[in-house]
Amino acid sequence: MILLPLVSTMCLILYKTKYMSQQHNKHIVIIGGGFAGLQLCRKLRNKKGFEITLIDRENHHMFQPLFYQVATARLEPSSISFPFRKIFQRAKNINFLMANVEQIVPEKNTLLTDQGEIAFDQLVIATGAYTNFFGNENVQEHSLSMKTTHEAIFIRNHMLMNFERMMEKKDKEGSKHIVVVGGGPTGVELAGSFAEMKKTILPKDYPRLNVADIKIYMIEGADYPLNVMSDKSKKSAKRYLEDLGVEVITNTFVNNYDGEKVVLSSGNEIVSNNVIWAAGVKGNYVQGLNEEIEQKGNRYKVNRQNEIAGYDNIYALGDIAYMETEKFPQGHPQVANVAINQANTLAKNLLKPSATLTDFVYKDLGSMATVGKHKAVVDLPFMSINGFVAWFIWMFLHLMLILSVRNKLIIFINWAWSYLTRDTSLRLILKARQKSW
């Protein structure tokens, strides 16, 4: 009986101690689990003094650089997708919420979401970017884009169904033409992958199909695909595509697309119902902040610590952040390396006193793209590499960036099998169940 009050008092003290320590934790809300948001979570994982809430519309992180391999049936989406709850199983201070953020209310330090209102001490916006159709509603309605796992799977289903209809003789002329709009890395990799599929896989899967009827176009507004890369790389990329049978149309824009005909700025038309738009991106802007901070491409204006102009507790990272520096007066490129390193810098600043804040400095380590087997281009700060060596470097670096050992192994096996056999076994058409045969 004497021990009971003593135990109760000790429990009360322990509860108050834990409660008070939690009260002093900063609640940081991170919107978006892309490269920037995920990296920031990993850097703050199990750090004292921080309570993290990660919000995303999907329940998984997506490795976007390999979306084109999902779209062309080279990899399964699960190979490049990583559930947030699995990633942070051992993180004691990270909570995940699958929700859609509708508005920021900065004067109250709260977010309005479809799952309710969420309060924050500090907010990090890392919502990434989505496809930019430049105001062309017809193109947006009828073309295919590839910024999410769902969109990549939809492209795979769409293309495989087209091949089936070609065998059934139910296809139209447009089914035989694949048009990729945009000559950046995504466009180049998609066009090259479809060209390899046409050359090595379709003749085996569809022996009665005349693959010569299938034409692949890549349309680019600049002089060359990969036009921001070195002269050697962009010229090599164009040559590789043409060697694979891709018709590369440069210095040309798409004026309109109605689902059947692509109207070009040159006045020419291409009949196609397979148009994939990879011609640009714009930021996933969240409403609620001062409109004056919105920059070109739906990006938030930030200082060198990624703090949004006019707010001392709200930050933006990655594709959504617009930071002007002497070296990058028009903002940094919207690539994964920028996002990851901005997250690293912000994590350091959050973990140390404000008097010693570090400015973000982007060290451009280079850029790369693959066109096909033994065909890739890599620009390093000191040299450009093309061909087999560049292709090997591209594969190695992308494999190392994959999060889990299991997924690394799965992707390596798929790539090795494809390399040795010039084939894959992932061409599944996944669609809603039919009520009857």
Instruction: Convert the pLDDT of each residue in 78-104 to its tens digit.
Output: 999 999 999 999 999 999 999 999 999
Cα separation, 85 vs 369, in Å, equals 31
**Which tokens is 81 given?**
């997708």
- Domain assignment of residue 412, yes or no: no
Percent of the chain whose pLDDT exceeds 70: 92
Indicate if 255 and 155 belong to the same structural domain. yes
The pLDDT value given to residue 175: 79
pLDDT in tens, 252-305: 999 999 999 999 999 999 999 999 999 989 999 999 998 888 888 899 999 999
Mean per-residue pLDDT over the chain, rounded: 89
The whole-number pLDDT of residue 436 equals 53
What are the start-end ranges of the E strands in 298-403?
299-301, 314-316, 321-322, 367-372, 375-379, 384-386
Distances in Å between the Cα of 175 and the Cα atoms of 17, 164, 226, 293, 421 are: 68, 10, 27, 44, 27
Q: Are 24 and 42 found together in one domain? A: yes
Residues 210 and 103 in one domain: no
Predicted local confidence at residue 157, as pLDDT: 93
386 domain residue, yes or no: no
pLDDT tens digits, 174-189: 778 999 999 999 999 9
> How far is Cα 278 from Cα 314, in angstroms, rounded to an integer?
31
Please check whether residues 229 and 328 belong to one and the same domain.
Answer: no
Look at residue 295 and tell me if it is in a domain.
yes
Residue-wise pLDDT tens digits, 228-239: 999 999 999 999
| CATH number, domain with residue 291 | 3.50.50.60
Residues 161 and 271 in one domain: yes
DSSP strands (E only) in 59-182: 60-62, 81-83, 94-98, 101-105, 110-113, 116-119, 122-125, 129-131, 177-181
One domain for residues 147 and 251: yes
Place of tokens 């005909």: 261
Model pTM score: 0.89
Same domain, residue pair 261 and 348: no
251 pLDDT exceeds 60?
A: yes
pLDDT higher than 90, residue 375: yes
Count of domains for the chain: 2
pLDDT at 171: 59
| pLDDT number for residue 336 | 92
Q: What is the DSSP string of 83-94?
A: EHHHHTTT-TTE
Out of 279, 313, 331, pick the residue that ends a domain. 279
- Whether 372 is covered by a domain: the verdict is no
Residues 289, 322, single domain; the answer is yes
Give the pLDDT score at 117.
Answer: 95
Give the separation between CA 99 and CA 111, rounded to whole angstroms.
11
Most distant CA pair in the chain, distance: 94
The answer as to whether 161 is a domain residue is yes
226 and 313 in a common domain: no
Per-residue pLDDT, averaged over 107-115, amounts to: 95
Residues 209 and 261 in one domain: yes
Residue 118 pLDDT greater than 80, yes or no: yes
| Residue 205 within a domain | yes
The confidence score (pLDDT) of residue 233 equals: 96
- What residue numbers bound the domain in which 309 lies? 20-131+282-356
pLDDT in the model for residue 169: 66
pLDDT in tens, 139-167: 999 999 999 999 999 999 999 998 888 87
On whether residue 42 sits in a domain, the answer given is yes
**Average pLDDT of span 120-136:** 94
Tens-digit pLDDT profile for residues 183-229: 999 999 999 999 999 999 999 998 888 888 899 999 999 999 999 99
Place of tokens 């005349």: 210
Domain's final residue, options 301, 329, 356: 356
- 198 shares its domain with 272: yes
Q: Whole-angstrom Cα distance, residue 222 to residue 249? A: 9
Two tokens at 315? 């930050």
Looking at residue 352, its pLDDT comes to: 85
User: 356, 386, 412 — which closes off a domain?
Assistant: 356
Do residues 113 and 148 share a domain? no
> Is residue 348 domain-resident?
yes
Q: Give the range among 71-75, 106-110, 169-173, 392-396 with minimum mean pLDDT.
A: 169-173
